Structures are given as structure tokens and as C-alpha cells.
Amino acid sequence: MIKGEDSCVLQVLDSLKTYIIKNNDTSALRVLDIISGKSDGYLSEAIQDIVGEVFYENLGLLLWFCDTNKSNHLEKFLIYALSMEVSMEKEVARKRIDKFVRDNRQIKQLTTNQSKLLGKIVKRIDPTIWE
């Protein structure tokens, strides 16, 4: 699948993202995780964007998946996505992320493990990796 026509692969990934966000489907996250372990170039950029969007749209599912599946591919891509966001928008993005994290900890009632994982991810945001 990931060796096909670029536009087709990107359409499949976009459909996968939509499915993950709307359907709360862990099997779709597993597919994304498998693809992310074998990706490079434009595919890595697309996965980074997808994981960043899933972070904002379905945080609980993403954290659950990263906590229960120790491959860390999606966690790594999430850190890259958030680091890119902060690299591009500096303090505005950092404040937006911090506010989002605060709000979701209260609203979504994350488990202790999910909360710890989220804290670990936020601490690992490093905009200098994109400089």
C-alpha cells in the first residue's frame, strides 16, 4: 500500500485519519502505527500531520493506543508534530498546546497512565529539531 502512487497513498492515509477521528477505532490506529514504522519522506510528513490532528480531535484514543501498544511510532510522530507546531508558531503554539492539555485532563478524565504519558510527550516537545 505504501509503495503505490503518491496521491493514492495520501488519499488512503487521509481516509484512515478521518476514520480514526470519527469512529474511535483502535484497529485503524494499529494500521497507521504499522505504516509509520516503515515510512520516510513525504509519507512521514503525512503521518506526522495525521497524528497531530488526531491529538486534537481524539486525544483519549491516541493516548490509550500509545500507552497500550509500546511500539512508540505514533508517540514519536506526535512529538515531531507538536515540535513542528511550536517551531513554526513559537510561544503561541506552546500556550495553545498547554491550554489544550490542561482542558483535556479535566474534561476527558484521562487515566493515570494516560496523564503521565501526556506529560512525558509535552516535556519532549523540542522545536529545535526543526531548525
Instruction: Collect all residues with Cβ–Cβ distance below 8 Å to 127 and sequence separation of at least 6.
Output: 83, 84, 86, 87, 90
Task: Please report which helix (H) or strand (E) contains residue 119, including its range.
Answer: helix 112-123
Global pTM value: 0.89
Reported as a single tens digit per residue, the pLDDT across 34-53 is: 888 877 788 889 999 999 99
Reported as a single tens digit per residue, the pLDDT across 42-91 is: 888 999 999 999 999 999 899 999 999 877 899 999 999 999 999 999 99
DSSP calls for 60-116: HHHHHHHHH-TT-HHHHHHHHHHHHHHHHHHHHHHHHHHHHHHHHHHHS---HHHHH
Distance CA 92, CA 85 (A): 9
